[in-house]
Structure formats: C-alpha cells, structure tokens
Amino acid sequence: MNPKTREVIDLKIEAILRDYRFEHRSKERPEECPCYQSHTPCHDLNTKDLNCFFCMCPEYDNSKDVRGCLRKSPQGKWYNNPNLPQGQIWDCSDCDFPHRSLILDFI
C-alpha cells in the first residue's frame, strides 16, 4: 500500500468506523437504509457491535434475477424483514466479521 494512503487511513479510520456504527446510522442517517429506518439490523448481531462500513459484500448480488450470495454459501440463510425493499436479505451469519467493530484491530 502506498505510504501516504496508509497515513490517511490511519488518521481517519476510527472516525469512519464510528460513523458507520449501526446505532449511529439509525439515528443520524435513517434515510440511507430501510434497516436504519426500522432500527432492525439486517444481521443477528448486537447493535452495539454491528458496523455497516463493509455493507454489501462484493459476493452478494442484489439484482432482481439472482439475489443472494454468489458463492452459494451453505452457512447463509434468508433473513425476512418486511422493512426491506424485497422483504428479505441473504444473511451470511457465519461471515459477520467485516461488520463487527473489532475490525479496527485488524486494519
């Protein structure tokens, strides 16, 4: 990684991750996500630990035709939430690491 890029990340990452906490986004930016509006997280995690910085896994297809995990992960399941536009979202419960606040320790 470019040293200057790393320097900027190191300076800003704590503020960015604080801003992307589910509890913060639900209060400050509810218009950005139906889950924020309903205060219902899309993952079965404590809302204090849920961090939305890595929302939308690159392996998740949200198109009308495919939808869900492109890797067809056997660990996932459909999570029904009437507040979501399509009524459900693919929940990769065993792959919640990027959503946890602890990610800061690994960056």
Q: Where are the domains of the chain?
A: 3-106
> What per-residue confidence (pLDDT) applies to 22?
93
| Integer Cα distance of 24 and 19 in angstroms | 6
Give the rounded distance of the alpha carbon of 100 from its chain centre.
9
- For the chain, what is the mean pLDDT? 76
Question: What does the pLDDT average to over 62-87?
Answer: 69
Kindly state the helix (H) or strand (E) to which residue 9 belongs, with its residue range.
helix 3-19
Residues facing 71 on adjacent strands: none
Question: What does the pLDDT average to over 35-45?
Answer: 81
User: Which of the two residues, 103 and 92, has the higher pLDDT score?
Assistant: 92
33: its two tokens: 């996500």
> What per-residue confidence (pLDDT) applies to 56?
67
